[in-house]
């Protein structure tokens, strides 16, 4: 079939295709002055549109002003002007045929105005509201000077998702395009540079086109034609096969500061003088589409069009000619599926739209009423609800907004504005319990997890800013698949995320959180205020006020120490505010932060801060216990929580978390009650033993369990707490093991010597070998355990071992040695442990308590033994003197009586 036949067939197909009968809504508007024209039209998610009007002065310039018309969802129209002194030369065409100023939308509610300032040799961006109010003015890039001339060809391209920022592009040299990526403006209009780079061209001033891709990146299309700058010489044949036209696409990843590509998506050996293109990305499909425009060398008045559909990998999956006899002035991806190609017939003053489906196939033709007078001044845009509208001047004073619905290429989006989603948990408008730990999304098609974020926000129904509760990226461990068909993904949620009863939440799923499993092409996500639900209203139990501690990082400690005293107070004040936002909780529930202690278990030591948390009698507010738990989770997982997003809280140490300042009486009250009950029981046993046999050393009823408890606590301290302070671990082991070994050896030697030298003890030993063996082993805990064998406690014959005074003397000196190699060092270690840790639990507490009691008992016992020993010596000396005096007096009374020297010595010795 020849070309004429193809065109005829296509024309018949267009004519006989079943078209939708469109209904039109017309809103007229009368201007107060003539001469205005439509320059651009912008649509927003809330169904508001902004129309930019210009007023030409001549063929090259327009009046230096920016007139806006705001079309509200209810059909009313307001007028506004941008009151800012933009230099007038921005409103005249430059050498490239474009105005120097540019304007684009920035979702959700801003406009960006780009203009050049020759005095400062810079481009500036005005951030304005939709009503024209200027919020900020920021320099974004230098003006290019190429071949000695100003080349102000810069323009802006904002992303179609409000989660991303905008890109600025301009020729830096003849063969290099410079780009800069900025974050989206905040509420104060602040923008900041995220990344910048260059894209190099093969030929000078190759035409390029930038469009937003679904994954947060930007595509850049460049055509390279070898015949553009070649002029045929007279009478010289040129072989057309030497001419080639190639179209490349690259994908700029501004956040990562990298570029994928270039990918060749079209090439032809047919000589072309010009290649132009319009490109956009598919909302509901799996790729991108470009309309390529060709003007042949042999017939400059003939324009040919071709659709090229390609994936982000550069793979072309569809290419076909588009038979259109009118000028294509734009291509737009429609949110409800498919593409709209807008054509304009300048001679007949008509506008027509060709609708393609997601696969680039013809679906229908859309046109305005035939009686509509369409001037050269018009603009089109589409809302997300599927409404297309045209703004056109009917005459010099009147223009109209004409809107009509467009076809929908998917059955239902279930409120997510995403045709790929089948269901979610939680469902839209559902109520969920507090502190759920999992959400999920089920898709109609199999997907693979990508890299972008899922973010959870808490919001109020008023104009307060939403609170970001958690944000996780697809490449984190928070994501998982839950089914074999790869259609459902699970996202782990922290218990602190949905922590507010009767509160509203919504979840944002960025584009490119998942990709199509088959094509690996990114899929659209869920925008703000779509996936909305709330938590149930539940009462919380009352909890007393408490104090928690948290630590600064090493870097945070150094930064804080460098601040002046006033700056430190300001930091702590702001930290309190940011913590209240992060939880979130009424700031009055958080008392002023106390500073400063040091966590000496870390090297170098880090600053510890204390935060008192007040209780509340409102059962619908988070109680103190839950606030402490929430803060601990938030800080320990700060990489995905608001803790990392504030300048102050980002300095908090994640590994430390938020720890309750423990009050021993409160936290260990049950342990202490158990200890008191044990002491009472031992007291009753002591009274019973005292009554049964008063002459026994019944005090061992207290001493024996105390020694055993101290030994057990020492072992548990090493196993459970020893490594909390690394510098104390080895000393703890040394002064636990060595005393055990020495005590056991001394105990074994003492027992063996007693068996050998004391016949009475040997007789007891033969009848109580097991008991002797047990206490020999127990002597490793404390050598004084051997004294229990001779204690005669409660008159029990088993504890009536006849241990000699010499052996008791050895036990005394053995316990004296143990005092210095065991008791005192262990006590010192426990004291240092208190100073070097923040969390002090029951095991170190009991270890310190038993060590203190035993140490005090041993010291006092040794002092008392020394007093007794000295008193005994003194008493013996006095008795000797008294005896000698009596003997001397007797000798004086009876001189015949002589006391032999030998007897005197004997008496003195016996005394």
- Provide the residue range defining the domain that includes 429: 421-535
Q: What's the burial of 352, exposed, middle or buried (CB within 10 Å: 0-12/13-18/19+)?
A: middle
200 neighbors 175 (Cβ within 8 angstroms): yes
- Least confident residue range of 39-53, 81-95, 449-463, 658-672: 658-672
Q: How far apart are CA 202 and CA 223, in angstroms?
A: 9
Residue 561 in tokens: 């120490």
Per cent of the chain over pLDDT 90 is 31
pLDDT of residue 765: 85
For residue 247, list its beta bridge partners.
Answer: 223, 266
**Whether residue 805 sits in one domain with residue 786:** yes
Looking at 535, 568, 600, the residue that finishes a domain is 535
Same domain assignment for residues 135 and 85: yes
Q: How confident is the model at residue 10 (pLDDT cuts 50, 70, 90)?
A: very low
Q: What is the mean pLDDT of residues 196-204?
A: 87
Give the SS3 label for residue 422: strand
Distances (CA, A) of 249 to 216, 218, 260, 268, 271: 16, 10, 9, 16, 21
167, 210 contact by CB (below 8 A) = yes
Cα separations (Å) of 607 from 374, 564, 566, 579, 596?
A: 72, 16, 17, 17, 6
Residues 471 and 572 in one domain: no
pLDDT, greater one: 373 or 390: 390
Site of tokens 């470009």: 290
Residues 587 and 702 in one domain: no
Q: Tell me, what's the pLDDT at 897?
A: 45
- Quickly state the pLDDT bin for 228 (edges 50, 70, 90): very low
Range 658-686 average pLDDT: 78
How far is residue 258's CA from residue 240's CA, in Å, rounded to a whole number? 37
Q: Is 70 exceeded by the pLDDT of residue 411?
A: no
pLDDT at 278: 83
pLDDT of residue 489: 94
Query: Do both 555 and 615 map to the same domain?
Result: yes
CB 312 within 8 A of CB 259: no
Beta pairing partners, 339: 333, 356
pLDDT at 117: 93
User: Does residue 189 lie in a domain region?
Assistant: yes
CA 538, CA 519: separation in Å to the nearest integer?
46
In the chain, what percentage of residues exceed pLDDT 70?
86
Quick check: 883 pLDDT over 70?
no
**Range name among 116-130, 142-156, 283-297, 519-533 with the lowest pLDDT average:** 283-297
Residues 731 and 769 both lie in one domain: yes
Give the Å distances, CA to CA, from 425 to 190, 472, 480, 499: 35, 17, 15, 17
With respect to residue 220, please indicate whether it lies within any of the assigned structural domains. Answer: no
**With 60 as the cut, is the pLDDT of residue 894 above it?**
no
Q: Output 870 or 312, whichever has higher pLDDT.
A: 312
Q: What secondary structure does DSSP assign to 847-882, as a single string?
A: HHHHHHHHHHHHHHHHHHHHHHHHHHHHHHHHHHHH
pLDDT the model gives residue 227: 47
Same-domain pairing of 529 and 553: no
31's tokens: 């201007």
Backbone angles phi, psi at 179, to 5 degrees: -130, 150
* 556: pLDDT strictly greater than 60: yes
Going by pLDDT thresholds of 50, 70 and 90, the confidence category of residue 901 is very low
Residue 134 has pLDDT above 90, yes or no: yes
42 and 138 housed in the same domain: yes
Q: Are residues 721 and 701 in the same domain?
A: yes
User: What is the DSSP track for 318-384?
Assistant: EEEEE--SSEEEEEEE-TTSSEEEEEEETTTTEEEEEEE-TTS-EEEEEE--TT----S-EEEEE-T
Mean pLDDT of 696-707: 84
Q: Does 602 share its domain with 554?
A: yes
Across residues 443-452, what is the average pLDDT?
90
Q: Find where tokens 């016996």 sit.
A: 910
Last-in-domain residue among 200, 231, 255:
200
List pLDDT tens digits, range 398-410: 888 888 887 777 7
Looking at residue 789, its pLDDT comes to 84
Query: What is the rounded average pLDDT of the residues 785-794?
Result: 84
Looking at residue 454, its pLDDT comes to: 95
Between the alpha carbon of residue 886 and those of residues 469, 494, 890, 899, 907, the distances in Å are: 98, 94, 6, 12, 12
Helix axes 805-818, 726-757, angle to 10 degrees: 170
The model's confidence at residue 342, banded by pLDDT at 50, 70 and 90, is confident
Give the domain CATH number at 485: 2.60.40.1220
Q: What is the mean pLDDT of residues 73-100?
A: 89
Least confident segment among 196-205, 327-336, 443-452, 700-709: 327-336
Give the count of domains, the chain: 4
Instruction: Return the higher-pLDDT residue of 549 and 669.
Output: 549
Question: Region 464-493: what's the mean pLDDT?
Answer: 89
Query: Average pLDDT for residues 833-841, to the nearest whole number?
Result: 66
272-328 pLDDT, tens per residue? 567 778 888 877 767 888 888 887 656 656 788 888 989 888 889 888 888 887 888
Strand order in 155-158's β-sheet? 155-158, 166-173, 176-182, 193-200
- The verdict on 692 and 798 lying in the same domain is yes
Distance (Å, rounded) from C-alpha 441 to C-alpha 506? 14
750 is a domain residue: yes
Note the pLDDT of residue 877: 61
Phi, psi dihedrals of residue 455, rounded to the nearest 5°: -125, 140
Name the average pLDDT for the chain.
82
Task: Report if residue 182 sits inside a domain.
Answer: yes
Question: How far out from the chain centre does Cα 416 lie?
Answer: 25
Residue 11 lies in a domain: no
Does residue 212 belong to any structural domain of this protein?
A: no
What average pLDDT score do residues 470-484 get?
A: 88
Q: How confident is the model at residue 889 (pLDDT cuts 50, 70, 90)?
A: low
* 490 plus 613 within the same structural domain: no
Question: Does the pLDDT of residue 484 top 60, yes or no?
Answer: yes
| Mean pLDDT confidence for 160-189 | 90
Start-to-end Cα distance in the chain? 144
Q: Does residue 560 register a pLDDT over 90?
A: yes
pLDDT value at residue 13? 38
Instruction: Check pLDDT > 60 for residue 375.
Output: yes
What Rg do the C-alpha atoms of the chain give, in angstroms?
A: 45
The answer to whether the beta carbons of residues 85 and 101 sit under 8 Å apart is: no
For residue 565, is it within any domain?
yes
Query: Does 818 fall in a domain?
Result: yes
**The CATH number of the domain where 567 resides is what?**
3.30.70
């Amino acid at each position: 079939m020849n070309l004429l036949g193809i065109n005829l067939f296509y024309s018949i197909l267009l004519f006989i295709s079943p078209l939708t009968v469109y209904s039109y809504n017309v809103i007229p508007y009368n201007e107060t002055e003539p001469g205005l024209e439509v320059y651009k039209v912008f649509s927003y998610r809330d169904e508001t549109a902004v129309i930019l009007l210009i007023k030409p002065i001549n063929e090259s310039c327009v009046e230096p002003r920016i007139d806006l018309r705001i079309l509200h969802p209810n059909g009313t129209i307001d007028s506004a002007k941008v009151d800012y002194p933009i230099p007038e030369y921005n409103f005249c065409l430059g050498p490239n045929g474009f105005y120097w100023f540019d304007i684009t939308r920035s979702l959700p509610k801003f406009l960006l105005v780009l203009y050049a300032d020759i005095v400062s040799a810079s481009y500036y961006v005005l951030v304005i509201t939709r009503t024209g109010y200027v919020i900020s003015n920021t320099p974004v890039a230098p003006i290019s000077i190429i071949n000695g001339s100003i080349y102000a060809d810069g323009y802006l391209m904002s992303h179609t998702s409000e989660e991303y920022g905008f890109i600025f592009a301009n020729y830096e040299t003849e063969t290099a395009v410079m780009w800069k990526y900025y974050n989206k403006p905040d509420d104060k209009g602040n923008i900041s540079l995220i990344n910048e780079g260059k894209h190099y061209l093969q030929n000078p001033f190759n035409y390029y086109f930038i469009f937003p891709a679904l994954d947060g990146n930007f595509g850049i299309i460049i055509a390279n034609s070898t015949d553009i700058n070649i002029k045929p010489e007279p009478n010289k044949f040129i072989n057309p096969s030497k001419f080639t036209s190639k179209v490349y696409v690259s994908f700029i990843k501004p956040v990562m500061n990298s570029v994928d590509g270039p990918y060749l998506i079209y090439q032809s050996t047919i000589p072309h003088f010009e290649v132009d293109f319009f490109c956009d990305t598919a909302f509901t499909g799996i790729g991108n589409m470009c309309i390529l425009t060709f003007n042949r060398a042999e017939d400059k008045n003939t324009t040919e069009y071709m659709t090229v559909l390609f994936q982000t990998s550069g793979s072309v999956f569809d290419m076909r000619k588009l038979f259109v006899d009118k000028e294509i002035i734009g291509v737009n991806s429609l949110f409800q599926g498919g593409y709209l190609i807008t054509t304009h017939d300048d001679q007949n003053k008509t506008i027509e739209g060709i609708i393609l489906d997601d696969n680039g196939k013809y679906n229908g033709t859309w046109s305005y009423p035939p009686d509509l007078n369409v001037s050269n001044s018009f603009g089109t845009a589409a809302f997300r609800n599927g409404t297309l509208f045209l703004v056109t001047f009917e005459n010099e004073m009147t223009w109209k907004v004409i809107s009509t619905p467009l076809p929908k290429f998917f059955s239902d989006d279930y409120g997510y504005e995403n045709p790929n989603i089948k269901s979610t948990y939680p469902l839209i408008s559902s109520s969920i319990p507090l502190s759920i730990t999992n959400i999920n999304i089920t898709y109609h098609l199999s997907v693979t997890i990508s890299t972008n974020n899922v973010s959870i926000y808490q919001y109020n129904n008023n104009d307060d800013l939403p609170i970001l509760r958690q944000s996780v990226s697809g490449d984190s461990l928070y994501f998982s698949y839950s089914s074999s068909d790869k259609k459902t993904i699970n996202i782990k949620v922290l218990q602190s995320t949905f922590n507010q009863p009767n509160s509203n939440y919504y979840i944002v799923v960025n584009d490119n959180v998942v990709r199509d499993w088959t094509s690996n092409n990114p899929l659209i996500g869920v925008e703000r205020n779509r996936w909305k639900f709330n938590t149930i209203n539940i009462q919380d139990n009352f909890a007393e006020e408490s104090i928690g501690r948290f630590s600064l990082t090493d870097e945070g400690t150094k930064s804080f120490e460098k601040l002046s005293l006033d700056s430190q107070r300001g930091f702590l004040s702001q930290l309190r505010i940011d913590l209240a936002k992060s939880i979130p909780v009424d700031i009055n529930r958080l008392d002023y932060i106390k500073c400063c202690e040091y966590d000496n278990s870390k090297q170098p030591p880090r600053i510890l801060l204390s935060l008192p948390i007040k209780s509340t009698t409102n059962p619908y507010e988070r109680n103190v216990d839950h606030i402490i738990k929430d803060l601990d989770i938030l800080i320990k997982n700060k990489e995905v929580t608001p803790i990392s997003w504030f300048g102050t809280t980002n300095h908090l140490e994640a590994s430390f978390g938020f720890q309750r300042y423990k009050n021993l009486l409160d936290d260990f009250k049950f342990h202490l009650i158990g200890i008191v009950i044990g002491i009472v029981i031992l007291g009753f046993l002591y009274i019973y033993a005292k009554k049964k046999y008063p002459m026994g050393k019944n005090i061992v009823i207290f001493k024996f369990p105390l020694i055993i408890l101290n030994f057990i606590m020492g072992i548990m301290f090493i196993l459970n707490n020893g490594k909390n302070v690394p510098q104390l671990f080895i000393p703890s082991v040394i002064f636990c093991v060595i005393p055990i070994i020495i005590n056991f050896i001394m105990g074994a030697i003492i027992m063996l010597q007693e068996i050998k030298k004391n016949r009475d003890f040997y007789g007891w030993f033969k009848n109580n070998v097991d008991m002797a063996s047990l206490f020999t082993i127990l002597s490793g805990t404390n050598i004084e355990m051997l004294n229990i064998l001779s204690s005669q406690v409660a008159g029990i014959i088993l504890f009536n071992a006849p241990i000699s005074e010499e052996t008791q003397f050895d036990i005394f000196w053995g316990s004296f040695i143990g005092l210095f190699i065991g008791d005192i060092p262990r006590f010192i270690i426990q004291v240092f442990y208190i100073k070097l840790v923040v969390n002090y639990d029951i095991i170190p507490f009991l270890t310190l308590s038993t060590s203190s009691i035993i140490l005090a008992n041993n010291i006092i016992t040794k002092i008392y033994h020394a007093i007794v020993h000295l008193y005994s010596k003194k008493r013996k000396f006095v008795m000797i003197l008294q005896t000698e005096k009596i003997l001397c007096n007797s000798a004086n009374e009876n001189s015949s009586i002589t006391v032999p020297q030998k007897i005197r010595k004997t008496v003195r010795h016996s005394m």
